[in-house]
Structure 1
């Protein structure tokens, strides 16, 4: 029996959840960082070489078929680098074949 496809929005577990990002984005004193400010922040906090850091302002937007569990990329979602406080911030960036998210002062690392 061939089941019909049933595609729904999928929140990629490799990224900060969209709701968490949106909470930071819409908080009153949060400000968007320029790429230079974002690079300076992650280099100061974690010791990266600023010549090797590239700020990434999007994440993939996915759907999942609830029957087969297949994923499909359906677009991109904007993810500006944001700063509110030392423990309330977000920057997505690539460095040396790895991609990272700095979120709330902590570093999340993934292989590209």
Structure 2
């Protein structure tokens, strides 16, 4: 029996998957098309419910198999990604033009202990920048974090997804750090020197 024949006899419009179950039940029933469709339409002896239940079970089984296959593929992708990362020899990377993170961390350690430095508020940092370098305060945004990079043996860069702390820190007039952006440019102030920040 064709799908269109079933639809015209019953007024039901099943999905392809459900109809494959209906067709199998029809073939097993030994009934002619009209008798089977009448029985299905009336749900005689629960035939329609049984077919729907079996079709739903098939869909659940297929979905479970798909999820299992997806999980296996995801595990394979993760394993291949690790192998590729080892092959590419990724390692931490910092742009040499910027202040090294280790130098910033040394200064920030004093702010963490509170003994010889402190973290500046954004307002303090903006005022300091404007007093020293005559920027428009309305155009300054203080930056608190910068992305961490890695480089591979082919000199390709990527972001790791981690961030470095770069909150403004002040220790003395010749020992401080502020990272900030204007509307068009990136900067960092390191020990009284205004420097472009390369991202």
Q: TM-score, normalised by structure 1?
A: 0.90
CA RMSD of aligned residues (A): 1.7
Instruction: Give the Cα separation in 1 of the matches to 2:182 and 2:198.
Output: 10
Aligned-residue offset at 1:14 = 3.8
- Say which structure is richer in strand: 1
Instruction: Give the Cα separation in 2 of the matches to 1:60 and 1:12.
Output: 12
Aligned residue for 2:170?
Answer: 83
Which structure has the larger Rg?
2
The 3-state SS of whatever aligns with 1:97 is coil
Q: Are the equivalent residues in 2 in contact too, given 1:90–1:101 (CA < 8 A)?
A: yes
Aligned-residue offset at 1:109 = 1.5
Q: TM-score, normalised by structure 2?
A: 0.52
Instruction: Give the Cα separation in 1 of the matches to 2:90 and 2:142.
Output: 31
Residues 43-69 of structure 1 show CA distances to partners (whole Å, capped at 9, x for unaligned) of 11100000110001111200110x201
Instruction: Give the Cα separation in 2 of the matches to 1:40 and 1:64.
Output: 37
Q: Does 1:99 align with 2:182?
A: no
Aligned residue for 2:88?
Answer: 5
- Say which structure is richer in helix: 2
Which of residues 71, 86, 96 is equivalent to 2:157?
A: 71
Instruction: Give the Cα separation in 2 of the matches to 1:13 and 1:111.
Output: 9
Aligned-residue offset at 1:110 = 4.0
Aligned residue for 1:44?
Answer: 131
Q: Relative contact order: is structure 1 or structure 2 higher (C-alpha 8 Å, sep ≥ 6)?
A: 1
| Superposition misfits of 4+ residues, deviation over 3 angstroms | none
The 3-state SS of whatever aligns with 1:26 is helix
Aligned residue for 1:16?
Answer: 99
